Chain A
């Protein structure tokens, strides 16, 4: 499942992270799921005075995070977040990782059990370039979906509209939504068509 996702697509990674950093208040406790080498947490610690932990399953990521002085916990998100207590964090971050998780619903529920709020960024399979690729008879490979069908770590394929429908179904409210195009620029209309990446701030109803 999730691997070192933060190193992909650096241009939009930055934009994604800036949105997340903007939602984290100084000194907050943050849990970053699929933290890779811990670069996002490092940024939140340095810029926002955040504290917290990363979760990573991939050995390379774990070693790199430890070397970067990041608290990293090597567990599989798909097994739940049993190690974390209810309400232990102000924010639980899942950046570009939900599409690699098999237990989608449980992961969202667990995030909102251990966190007051969650921040989820997801690639949009409904992005126009991806639709165009499928219309042309090929699986999409784009800035935010950089893998070929045969080597992708992604196991769930969904659009921003699909994600919002699932939130509704699970009793999750979207408190903020920032949608970015493939260059990391904000999208203000037709987000499920023009947006390449969605960044959501969600909470329990």
Chain B
């Protein structure tokens, strides 16, 4: 039995692409072959000029929008894509006009080749041997996927957070292949504080006794405790102080203090739930890779720290978006990108959106936020 959904794109299915041409990574290591799992929504037009690539953030994947058909109504309902509210007929990433592509990045844990996949050289899971992948490596693999789909130039590359960094990377690595770039809640590089948070998250995983140096698969183990702590820490940085205060305050789970160390406050209960849920499905090695990719992102390095000089290579129009309560990648970090783009004399617009939900605001269905993206993509749409 299937239930009717209110989703814009309805039921979707993941596809799989195999790549046999070896890929030399930024680290110098070579991936001899790999697979990427992806989804598409809408129809590619005859001259392949209406394609939009959606890049995912730390815990995201290829299932951007729609539902997976299932006999289990609850399961079907919960299978909604992670950015469904922006993709579909009449939505900003309008599937009546655009052909939307989402993929799971190399090193991911949702179907693309990653640390849990089998290493053909050993016949065992890659585990600790999986190479460290970076944002530019992802962009190269995404370009190969574009080749496969017959897309010479993206109408737009769009992403939030780490996804925004991929979009920015696209604009300077393949300037002639990007017409519009949308960078949401991102930064031109991580600060020491950002890296420090990532380090604590990684230490939680690396020091978990169940980690086995990254080769936990063959031990039938999983470093759940470490991954749970990493996610709890990360989750705190995604929310704003105000929102947390408003949602949980000092509210107690039961009416009385326990005078112990079990869950007293609602915020503890919430974080534990989020940590447990995440540790139940996400792969710890992928978490390590994703946070490292964040740390290493710094395109200005190629020009001795001069972001303007790097961005001069870009040919696309840019939309940069930030959220007032985001303290992980604050508006000031987005304004650094805007400032460099203006110094490079690029076409750029910048919207600073007043939303209460911190870094995670980028996933919200806010009318102003969405109308800005709609206006930007609509201004010269086919």
Chain A positions near chain B (C-beta within 8 angstroms) = 29, 51, 53, 59, 62-75, 82-85, 88
Q: Does any Cβ of A come within 8 Å of B319's Cβ?
A: yes
The smallest beta-carbon distance between A137 and chain B, in angstroms, is 40
User: Roughly how many angstroms separate A29 CA and B339 CA in the complex, as a whole number?
Assistant: 15
Closest A residue to B319 by CB, please name it: A66
The smallest beta-carbon distance between A92 and chain B, in angstroms, is 13
Closest A residue to B378 by CB, please name it: A67
Q: Is the CB of B375 within 8 A of A63?
A: yes
Identify which of residues 64-88 in chain B touch chain A, using a CB-to-CB cut-off of 8 Å. Answer: none
Partner pick for B372 among A29, A62, A68, A83, CB 8 A cutoff: A62
User: Roughly how many angstroms separate A65 CA and B352 CA in the complex, as a whole number?
Assistant: 14
What are 17 pairs between A and B in contact, CB < 8 Å? Answer: A51-B345, A62-B349, A62-B351, A63-B375, A66-B351, A66-B375, A66-B376, A67-B375, A71-B349, A72-B349, A73-B349, A74-B352, A75-B352, A82-B339, A85-B342, A85-B343, A88-B343
B residues near A83, Cβ cutoff 8 Å:
335, 338-339, 342
Closest B residue to A83 by CB, please name it: B339
Q: Is the CB of A63 within 8 A of B372?
A: yes
Q: Is the CB of A59 within 8 A of B342?
A: no
Q: Count how many pairs of residues, one from A and one from B, have CB atoms less than 8 Å apart in the complex.
A: 57
Q: Does any Cβ of A come within 8 Å of B380's Cβ?
A: yes
Q: How many residues of B contact A (CB 8 A)?
A: 21
The smallest beta-carbon distance between A123 and chain B, in angstroms, is 28
Q: Is the CB of B350 within 8 A of A69?
A: no
Q: Which 10 A-B pairs have the closest CB atoms?
A: A67-B375, A66-B375, A83-B339, A73-B350, A74-B352, A69-B379, A72-B349, A74-B351, A59-B368, A66-B349
User: Roughly how many angstroms separate A59 CA and B174 CA in the complex, as a whole number?
Assistant: 32
Q: Is the CB of B343 within 8 A of A74?
A: no
Q: Does any Cβ of A come within 8 Å of B347's Cβ?
A: yes
User: Roughly how many angstroms separate A66 CA and B182 CA in the complex, as a whole number?
Assistant: 13
Closest B residue to A68 by CB, please name it: B379
A residues near B352, Cβ cutoff 8 Å:
74-75
Given known A59-B368, A63-B368, contact A72–B379 (CB-CB < 8 A): no
User: Roughly how many angstroms separate A68 CA and B342 CA in the complex, as a whole number?
Assistant: 19
Q: Is the CB of A88 within 8 A of B368?
A: no
Q: Does any Cβ of A come within 8 Å of B371's Cβ?
A: yes
Closest B residue to A59 by CB, please name it: B368
Q: Does any Cβ of A come within 8 Å of B348's Cβ?
A: yes
Q: Is the CB of A73 within 8 A of B338?
A: yes
Partner pick for B379 among A66, A75, A84, CB 8 A cutoff: A66
B residues near A84, Cβ cutoff 8 Å:
339, 342
Identify which of residues 345-382 in chain B touch chain A, using a CB-to-CB cut-off of 8 Å. Answer: 345, 347-352, 368, 371-372, 375-376, 378-380
Closest B residue to A76 by CB, please name it: B352
Most buried by B among A29, A64, A74: A74
Q: Is the CB of A63 within 8 A of B371?
A: yes
Residues 83-97 of B, flagged 1 when their CB comes within 8 A of A and 0 if not, give: 000000000000000
Closest B residue to A60 by CB, please name it: B368
